[in-house]
Chains A and B, each alone.
Chain A
Amino acid sequence: EPEVTQTPSHQVTQMGQEVILRCVPISNHLYFYWYRQILGQKVEFLVSFYNNEISEKSEIFDDQFSVERPDGSNFTLKIRSTKLEDSAMYFCASNDRGYEKLFFGSGTQLSVL
């Protein structure tokens, strides 16, 4: 079965640094998402992306965050100036019709020191 892939699996960064988390959604999917999960807490929605633009975003997704689909396969999440509270597992997800089963990647564990 096709899978969403994410790189890196772990990222350690210093507070104030920029990070880019990378995702390759399933190839025929049209809707892309970023979620995050702080240790022991629920999965929180950050942003959705469709037709090369953001379709929805949460309050968490402030101007420190951005997403991009630089080519036909990658989908990236950039955090411009990381804060300690950005430490979390970041999951990319995709699906082909929105409003349907989400296929999650294996996540990137971001640690901000």
Chain B
Amino acid sequence: GENVEQHPSTLSVQEGDSAVIKCTYSDSASNYFPWYKQELGKRPQLIIDIRSNVGEKKDQRIAVTLNKTAKHFSLHITETQPEDSAVYFCAASARGSYIPTFGRGTSLIVHP
């Protein structure tokens, strides 16, 4: 099955700095890569996703990049704000499985 590794486990930045979270996956058949944000005590919510036919996707301050050859993908948050503080999970899933496998999560702390 798929194995997703995520780094770092915690990330502390100053407000206004950029934050980068990296994930690797093992199954070359995986072709859908979502990112979920989970605020303390709340449900995970999708913030951005990318498919394997695209190398980069951007939505305002959030961007995701995908390197299929190296089997890794990254989340980039620019101009971080305190409300970006949360746990971020990457995931990977392959058509035919329908099951996203999640990484361990990155706790992002943005200091005002």
- Report A's interface with B, CB cutoff 8 A: 31, 33, 41-45, 48, 50, 55-56, 91, 98-102, 104-107
Q: Is the CB of A106 within 8 A of B43?
A: yes
Q: In chain B between 93 and 112, which residues have their CB closer than 8 angstroms to a CB of chain A?
A: 93, 95, 97-105
Q: Is the CB of A43 within 8 A of B98?
A: no
Q: Is the CB of B46 within 8 A of A102?
A: yes
**B89 CB–A CB distance under 8 Å:** yes
Band of interface residues on B: 20 to 34
With A56-B97, A99-B95, A101-B49 known as contacts, the answer to whether A42 contacts B43 (CB < 8 A) is no
Note all chain B residues with C-beta closer than 8 A to A102: 34, 36, 44, 46, 100
Instruction: Name the CB-closest residue of A to B43.
Output: A104
A104 to B38, CA, bound (A): 11
A56 to B101, CA, bound (A): 13
A44 to B45, CA, bound (A): 15
Beyond the given pairs A42-B103, A42-B104, 7 more chain A to chain B contacts, judged by CB atoms under 8 angstroms and listed by A's residue number, are: A42-B105, A45-B99, A98-B98, A100-B32, A102-B100, A104-B43, A106-B43
Q: Is the CB of B98 within 8 A of A56?
A: yes
B52 to chain A, nearest CB (A): 12
Q: Is the CB of A45 within 8 A of B98?
A: no
The contact of A42 among B34, B89, B93, by CB within 8 Å, is B89
The contact of A107 among B43, B89, B100, B105, by CB within 8 Å, is B43
B11 to chain A, nearest CB (A): 16
Q: Is the CB of A56 within 8 A of B102?
A: no
B43 to chain A, nearest CB (A): 4
Note all chain B residues with C-beta closer than 8 A to A41: 104-105
The contact of B98 among A42, A48, A91, by CB within 8 Å, is A48
Closest 10 CB pairs of A and B: A98-B98, A104-B43, A42-B104, A43-B102, A101-B46, A106-B43, A42-B102, A104-B44, A99-B98, A99-B95
